Amino acid sequence: MPAASLRALLAHSIDYAGMFPPCSLALEPALQNQAQYVQSPDAWMLSTFVLPVDQFEAASASVSRFDRKHPLRLSALGAKTERAIDFVGALKTAAQTIQSFSKEHVDLVSVNQLEMLLPVRARRGTSPSDWRTGLALDVDLGALNEARLLIGDLQLQAFWEAPAEMAERAIALLAEHNNSGTETRAFGYKLRTGGVTADAFPTLGQIARALVASAKHRVPTKFTAGLHHPLRQFRDEVKTKMHGFLNVLGAAVLAAEHRWDEQQTAIMLEDENASSFSFGDEFFAWREWKIDNHRIEAQRQLVTSFGSCSFNEPREDLRTLNFL
């Protein structure tokens, strides 16, 4: 039986993204895996199945694998767009697809999340050599307000992705939107934490700034890609160090609880020593910093889940570390 604090930190934390690299499974075997996972003893760690909106119709054939006690919980992945006008159009299509699919499979399916990339553009005068540092969001409060109108009737949490170097700007914009209305479901931010090549991984500082900004503005954050392993470690397949999901989730709740700055947050994100992490029945500790289970659950409202193409690998690594 895992420690209560580990359960609090990892409850419904893994969005299974089996269709995405590096696993890149076809739709049917990925959904077959999900149907097995939702009935496994470790289902308490499982969150949603990440499904592109354009695959909803094809997924209908596999919905019968699920039942009322073990439904198919989905995170809908909207289309990638490059301009604000296209973003709004793609979002409208996504909302209509989600609503139709949910009605068709009302007893077996729930769409709990929507994930979508915010369009970005290069600032005027930016040369090709420094375009990564010259990016600007191609959406504003008006576009977010329109997005709210389009998905307002859907009972889901929306997460908007922007590049790691734009995290603080994106989170501040989302916070401005969230604070301007009375909606209970705040818009969240999605941070890409890796990929299949070394250049896809954000720096420790970029993740730290995103976590501190999220805590400061009370904007929910989720993560995607690269968090296959509990602790930060070098992986030969990507020729770089991959960030650990215990590092990231643990730093997120501790940074929010203790009002850490970016430097302190980055120190925890960098820690590769399993002995620094302690899970008990009353609290989780990293080095001298502690947080009790009740406060973990409260701060998890800000750090919801991470996408992984494997549900097995995170669990196997936790068992190897004797955490699970």
Contact (Cβ atoms closer than 8 angstroms) between residue 144 and residue 181? no
CA atoms within 13 A on the CB side of 291: 24
Q: Render each residue's pLDDT in the chain as its tens digit; 324 residues.
A: 899 999 999 999 999 999 999 999 999 999 999 999 999 999 999 999 999 999 999 999 999 999 999 999 999 999 999 898 999 999 999 999 999 999 999 889 999 999 999 999 876 554 444 445 567 888 999 999 999 999 988 989 999 999 999 999 999 999 999 998 766 679 999 999 999 999 999 999 999 999 999 999 999 999 999 999 999 999 999 999 999 999 999 999 999 999 999 999 999 999 999 999 999 999 999 999 999 999 999 999 999 999 999 999 999 999 999 999
C-alpha distance from residue 14 to each of 65, 246, 273, 305 (Å): 20, 12, 22, 6
Contact at 8 Å (CB) between 160 and 116? Answer: yes
Strand 109-117 to 157-161 pairing: parallel
Radius of gyration of the chain, Cα coordinates, nearest whole angstrom = 19
- Round to whole Å and give the CA distance between 297 and 152: 26
Cβ(90)–Cβ(67) below 8 Å: no
**CB atoms inside a 10 Å sphere around CB 282:** 11
Angle, vertex CA 111, rays to CA 157 and CA 242, nearest 5: 65
Q: Where are the domains of the chain?
A: 4-320
Contact 216, 230 (CB under 8 A): no
At 21 the pLDDT is 93
The pLDDT score that the predictor gives to residue 133 is 56
> Which residue type sits at 46?
L
4-320: CATH topology is TIM Barrel (3.20.20)
pLDDT at 136: 86
Handedness of CA 273, 202, 34, 102 (dihedral sign): positive
Nearest partner of 201 among 219, 233, 225, 234, judged by Cα: 225
Closest residue by Cα to residue 284 from 31, 83, 4, 58: 4
d(C-alpha 270, C-alpha 291), whole Å: 19
pLDDT at 127: 44
